[in-house]
Structure 1
Amino acid sequence: MDWDKLRIFHAVADAGSLTHAGDTLHLSQSAVSRQIRALEESLNTTLFHRHARGLILTEQGELLFDATKSMNKRLDAAAARIKDSEEEVFGELRVTTTTGFGTMWLAPRLPKLYEKYPDLKIDLMLEERVLDLPMREADVAIRMKEPSQADLIRKRLMSVRMRLYASREYIEKNGMINDVEDIANHRLICQSPNSTQVSAGATLVQHLMTYDVHSLFTVNNYFGVLQGVVNNLGVGVLPDYLVEDFPHMVRILPDLQSGEVPVFLAYPEELRQSKRISAFRDFVQDEIFAHRRKLREATQSDEGAD
């Protein structure tokens, strides 16, 4: 098949319009239309259903579009590797992680990375869905479990536990909780049961609910839970990596916590030599080392005060 015709077909399928594809490709609508007709004739099939609102792929068109999407991602990977042969760290880096970790831990630390590599362009994709790294839906991922996809380089960064926290203002107003049975007299803030979350957090919430909690506020991500806690709404189930950045929060029932949740960084094997990946990986590892050190210092300080 003609590569140029496939490139034009992909643009039309992606845009759903001959006109919009022509604008992207800097071609006239008639030129784009001729190329699509020629491709259909060479394949002896119809690739688009044409109607007043635009174009819809036929079943055969969908098959070809899947192939061109895969080709584009492979070409993007090749382009990234070529660019990364330069000495400087620059260009786009697509990072995917969970909404909670991305908003509450990673994003606040990114200014340090930009300060070191000002020409880096980070596209941070926050969602619970696991993106396909080998198919280049993202370049690098930080996930709350070990990735199962093949052909990935993966590194365990740290472990997280879900714990109970409240604001100092809330404790001053409502009193410290010294026994788990007392949770029934407070508003519990947690992720909603039907939202995607780590099983360790869900298990801890299920345990707390056995104590007949009367008032409940649920959110579909931990950033929302955090907002409830810092605004004195109640007692929240939150990951322990927040302690460093929100020192005004008070841990409730220190003996109560979830099991360990492993945090992994992963990227495709084909990007092993990428300088952008290496720069991001080293940055995250350095920040986690600093995070652990501050937590140890804080723990030793609390023990000394006792």
Structure 2
Amino acid sequence: MDWDKLRIFHAVADAGSLTHAGDKLNLSQSAVSRQVRGLEEQLNTNLFHRHARGLILTEQGELLFDATRAMNKRLDAAAARIRDSEEEVFGELRVTTTTGFGTLWLAPRLSKLYDKYPDLKVDLMLEERVLDLPMREADVAIRLKEPSQADLVRKRLMTVRMCLYASSEYLKANGAPTAIEDISNYRLICQSPSSDQVGAGLSLVQQLLMYDIKSLLTVNNYFGVLQGVLNNLGIGVLPDYLTQDFPDLVRVLPDVESAEVPVFLAYPEELRQSKRVAAFKDFVQDEIISYRKQLKSS
């Protein structure tokens, strides 16, 4: 099969348009169209349904697009490994983690990584969806549960718990609860039970909501919950890794907490020798050690 035709087919399928694919490939629309027609003749099948509003893949086209997409990811992985054969740490590193952990713990510490490796380009992807590392949707993941995907190198970093926190100003104005039943007399700030979150956090939220909460603020990530607590809106369900960076948080009902949540760093087996991945892993582990030391001394 002609590799050049496959490359052009992939660009057309990805763009959904001959014109847009041509712009990306720096080819004319007619040249792109000829290559696609040639590939269809070679395979003796139609790869696209052609409509006035663009192109839609046929069933056979979908099968071929899946194959070319996998090929592209493998080529990207090979290129990454070739670049990583250099002694210096540089280039792009795609890191995925949850919105809360990435915003509140990881991002504020990245300056130390850039100080050491100024030519590194970190693409930080914050979302609750678990990206497919073997398919190279990301290079490294930090997740609040053990990754289940195969062919991954895993490193357990630490454990966290979801606990209850309030600002000192809020507690001064409203007093502090002394038993879990008292939580119904306060405004509770938490992630919505319908939003994506770790199972332990969801269990704690569901437990608290059983106490007939009269005033409630739900947010779809921990950053929003933290902002509500810091602005004296109520008592929030937050991960305990925040206490180091936000010393004004006051823990309430210290006996009320979630089960332990493991935090894992993972990356594809094929990136085991990657210097960029190794640099990031070492940076995170150093920050975890520093975090633990500060917790013990506080």
TM bracket, shorter-chain basis: over 0.9
Listed as ranges, the matches of 1:9-88 within 5 Å are 9-88=9-88
Q: In 2, Cα distance between the equivalents of 1:68 and 1:94?
A: 21
Where 2:216 maps in the other structure, the secondary structure is: strand
Measure how far apart 1:183 and its partner are. Answer: 0.9
**Unaligned 5+ runs, structure 1:** 299-306
1:244 is matched with 244
Measure how far apart 1:262 and its partner are. Answer: 0.3
Q: In 1, Cα distance between the equivalents of 2:296 and 2:55?
A: 60
Measure how far apart 1:121 and its partner are. Answer: 0.9
Code of the residue aligned with 1:75 in structure 2: it is: L
Measure how far apart 1:206 and its partner are. Answer: 1.8
1:304 is matched with none
State the Cα deviation string for residues 97-132 of structure 1 (Å, max 9, x = none).
111101111111111111111111111111111111
Code of the residue aligned with 2:77 in structure 1: it is: A
Measure how far apart 1:179 and its partner are. Answer: 2.0
Code of the residue aligned with 1:74 in structure 2: it is: R
**TM-score, normalising length: structure 1:** 0.96
Measure how far apart 1:213 and its partner are. Answer: 1.4
Measure how far apart 1:35 and its partner are. Answer: 0.4
Q: In 1, Cα distance between the equivalents of 2:158 and 2:190?
A: 23
Where 2:129 maps in the other structure, the secondary structure is: coil
1:211 is matched with 211
State the Cα deviation string for residues 183-214 of structure 1 (Å, max 9, x = none).
11100011101111111111111222222211
Measure how far apart 1:58 and its partner are. Answer: 0.9
2:150 is the counterpart of 1:133: no
2:223 is matched with 223
Q: In 2, Cα distance between the equivalents of 1:194 and 1:127?
A: 16
Listed as ranges, the matches of 1:1-306 within 5 Å are 1-298=1-298
Q: What is the CA RMSD across the aligned residues, in angstroms?
A: 0.9
**TM-score, normalising length: structure 2:** 0.98
Q: In 2, Cα distance between the equivalents of 1:169 and 1:44?
A: 73
Segment drifting more, 51-60 vs 262-271: 51-60
**Hey, which bits of structure 1, 4+ residues long, moved more than 6 A?**
none
State the Cα deviation string for residues 2-53 of structure 1 (Å, max 9, x = none).
1111001011111111111111111111111110000000000111111122
Q: In 1, Cα distance between the equivalents of 2:206 and 2:54?
A: 49
Measure how far apart 1:248 and its partner are. Answer: 0.6
Code of the residue aligned with 1:218 in structure 2: it is: T
Code of the residue aligned with 1:23 in structure 2: it is: D
**Unaligned 5+ runs, structure 2:** none
Where 2:244 maps in the other structure, the secondary structure is: coil
Where 1:114 maps in the other structure, the secondary structure is: helix
Code of the residue aligned with 1:217 in structure 2: it is: L
Q: In 1, Cα distance between the equivalents of 2:64 and 2:226?
A: 45
Code of the residue aligned with 1:295 in structure 2: it is: L
Code of the residue aligned with 1:78 in structure 2: it is: A
Where 1:125 maps in the other structure, the secondary structure is: strand
Q: In 2, Cα distance between the equivalents of 1:59 and 1:92?
A: 35
Q: In 2, Cα distance between the equivalents of 1:248 and 1:137?
A: 38
Segment drifting more, 202-211 vs 264-273: 202-211
Where 2:255 maps in the other structure, the secondary structure is: strand
Q: In 1, Cα distance between the equivalents of 2:68 and 2:276?
A: 26
Measure how far apart 1:164 and its partner are. Answer: 0.2
State the Cα deviation string for residues 61-118 of structure 1 (Å, max 9, x = none).
1111010000000000000000000011111111111111011111111111111111
Measure how far apart 1:165 and its partner are. Answer: 0.3
Q: In 2, Cα distance between the equivalents of 1:237 and 1:187?
A: 11
Code of the residue aligned with 1:73 in structure 2: it is: K
Q: In 2, Cα distance between the equivalents of 1:208 and 1:267?
A: 36
Where 1:255 maps in the other structure, the secondary structure is: coil
Code of the residue aligned with 1:145 in structure 2: it is: K
